[in-house]
């Protein structure tokens, strides 16, 4: 994308983390900003901040897992600004624990937000952007979907989250290829951040009541929550850095967006496991003390 000024960005998960930082950059770049989030109070505060930067802002409260609500977001965007030029399908939630301990409600919540939220965004906004491109040879569009390094790896004790993020990577790669068959005016990227302080480790605060679990958390779930809190809280790359990586990638038409390039060595190891038909490599091979501690904790060894 050659320029952002005067164009429109739609950002989900816009009240915090990557979404809020991306909204700030969009405003500084002179874009109209459609800010969508499930948390109404945080959204109102964030929208006021972005409007104070001089941007035309459309705040929209929605649950991205609900198809009708994303469709309503698309209609509101079209009515206010027309077809968007940048769509950042960014809303996401986190959960952990041994994969067989995940409840039906765990699966429905995480897949609903992390995967179906992206799918709904692609389904609603891509046709709008394609129609705009057909009418205007100068139209440029870009869709960015937030996955995770967990979409390129399979860290243990994070099964439901891993599944959702692998699916987002697959969806995004397919979107990129499908768009390339149809148009040169619209492209796509996938964001695969590692541990970054964004508040995703506290995403249970927005878990809908109808998908809340009645049972107490299992040992594995409590352990993963503690590990996530520590890992996310100690991140040296912050959300503002990652949001800038996103805009840089859109400007450069770059598909894969990473926050921690050093983590790609583990992705290479996974690919080599597949190509050589060898069993999955121990994810803690370079930090065995973490693996020892996790195994001991899960097995109840003091």
User: What residues act catalytically?
Assistant: 161
**Could you tell me whether strands 32-37 and 256-258 are parallel, antiparallel, or unpaired per DSSP bridges?**
unpaired
Say whether 151 sits in a helix, a strand or coil: helix
Q: Are 60 and 115 in contact (CB under 8 A)?
A: no
And the tokens for 44? 């109102």
Other beta carbons less than 10 A from residue 80's beta carbon: 14
Of 269, 161, 267, 270, which is closest to residue 221 (Cα–Cα)?
161
Of 240, 188, 219, which is closest to residue 300 (Cα–Cα)?
219
Say whether 227 sits in a helix, a strand or coil: helix
């Amino acid at each position: 994308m050659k320029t952002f000024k005067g164009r429109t960005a739609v950002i989900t998960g816009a009240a915090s983390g990557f979404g809020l930082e991306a909204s700030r950059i969009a405003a500084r770049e002179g874009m109209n900003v459609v800010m969508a989030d499930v948390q109404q109070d945080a959204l109102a505060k964030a929208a006021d901040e972005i409007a104070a930067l001089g941007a035309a802002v459309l705040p929209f409260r929605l649950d991205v897992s609900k198809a009708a609500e994303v469709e309503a977001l698309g209609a509101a965007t079209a009515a206010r600004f027309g077809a968007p030029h940048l769509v950042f399908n960014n809303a996401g939630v986190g959960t952990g624990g041994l994969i067989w301990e995940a409840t039906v409600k765990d699966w429905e919540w995480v897949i609903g937000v992390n995967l179906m939220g992206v799918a709904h965004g692609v389904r609603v906004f891509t046709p709008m952007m394609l129609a705009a491109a057909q009418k205007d040879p100068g139209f440029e569009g870009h869709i960015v979907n937030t996955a995770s390094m967990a979409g390129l790896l399979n860290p243990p004790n994070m099964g439901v989250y891993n599944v959702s993020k692998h699916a987002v990577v697959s969806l995004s790669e397919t979107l990129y290829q499908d768009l390339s068959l149809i148009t040169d005016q619209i492209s796509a990227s996938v964001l695969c951040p590692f541990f970054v302080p964004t508040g995703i480790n506290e995403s249970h605060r927005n878990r809908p009541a109808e998908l809340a679990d009645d049972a107490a958390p299992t040992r594995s779930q409590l352990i993963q929550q503690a590990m996530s809190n520590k890992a996310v809280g100690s991140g040296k790359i912050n959300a503002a850095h990652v949001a800038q990586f996103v805009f840089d990638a859109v400007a450069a038409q770059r598909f894969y967006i990473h926050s921690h390039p050093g983590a790609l060595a583990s992705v290479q190891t996974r690919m080599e496991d597949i190509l050589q038909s060898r069993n999955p490599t121990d994810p803690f091979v370079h930090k065995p003390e973490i693996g020892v501690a996790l195994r001991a904790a899960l097995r109840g060894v003091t």
